[in-house]
Structure 1
Amino acid sequence: MPAPKNTFKQALKDGDPQIGCWLGLADPYIAEISAGAGFDWLLIDGEHAPNDLRSIVAQLQVIAGRPAHPVVRPPIGEVWMIKQLLDAGAQSLLVPMVETAEQARELVAAVTYPPHGLRGVGSALARASDFSGIADYLTTARDEICLLAQVENQKGMEALDDILAVEGLDGVFIGPSDLAADMGYIGQAGAPAVKTAVLDAMERIVDSGKAAGILTLDTELQEKCRDLGATFIATDIDVTLFARNMRASAERAGTLRKG
Structure 2
Amino acid sequence: MRRNPMRERWAAGEPALGGWLGIASSYTAEIVARCDLDYVCVDIQHGLLDYGDAWHMLQAINLGSGTPVVRVPWNEPGIIGRSLDAGARGIVVPMVNTRAEAEAAVQYCRYAPEGSRSYAGTRV
Q: TM-score surpassing 0.5?
A: yes
**Structure-1 residue corresponding to 2:34:** 36
**Structure-1 residue corresponding to 2:51:** 53
Taking the aligned partners of 1:70 and 1:116, their CA distance within structure 2 comes to 22
Deviation per CA, 1:165-209: give whole Å up to 9, x if none: xxxxxxxxxxxxxxxxxxxxxxxxxxxxxxxxxxxxxxxxxxxxx
- Counterpart among 102, 106, 111 of residue 113 in structure 1: 111
**Aligned pairs (5 A) from 1:1-259:** 4-122=2-120, 125-128=121-124
Deviation per CA, 1:42-89: give whole Å up to 9, x if none: 211000112222211111111112223221101111011111111111
Q: Structure 1 residue runs of 4+, over 3 Å off?
A: none
Question: What SS does the aligned partner of 1:120 have?
Answer: coil
For structure 1, the residue ranges without an aligned partner over 5 or more in a row are 129-259
Deviation per CA, 1:101-135: give whole Å up to 9, x if none: 1100101111111223110122xx2112xxxxxxx
Question: What SS does the aligned partner of 2:17 have?
Answer: strand
> What percent of counterpart residues are identical?
35
Taking the aligned partners of 2:110 and 2:32, their CA distance within structure 1 comes to 30
Amino acid at match of 2:70: V
Deviation per CA, 1:122-164: give whole Å up to 9, x if none: 2xx2112xxxxxxxxxxxxxxxxxxxxxxxxxxxxxxxxxxxx
Which one has the bigger helix percentage? 1
For structure 2, the residue ranges without an aligned partner over 5 or more in a row are none
Q: What's the TM-score, normalizing by structure 2?
A: 0.89
Deviation at 1:5, TM superposition (A): 3.8
* Structure number with bigger Rg: 1
Shift in CA distance, 38/117, structure 1 to aligned 2, threshold 3 Å: closer
For the aligned residue pairs, the C-alpha RMSD in angstroms reads 1.6
Count of aligned pairs between the two proteins: 124
Deviation at 1:4, TM superposition (A): 3.5
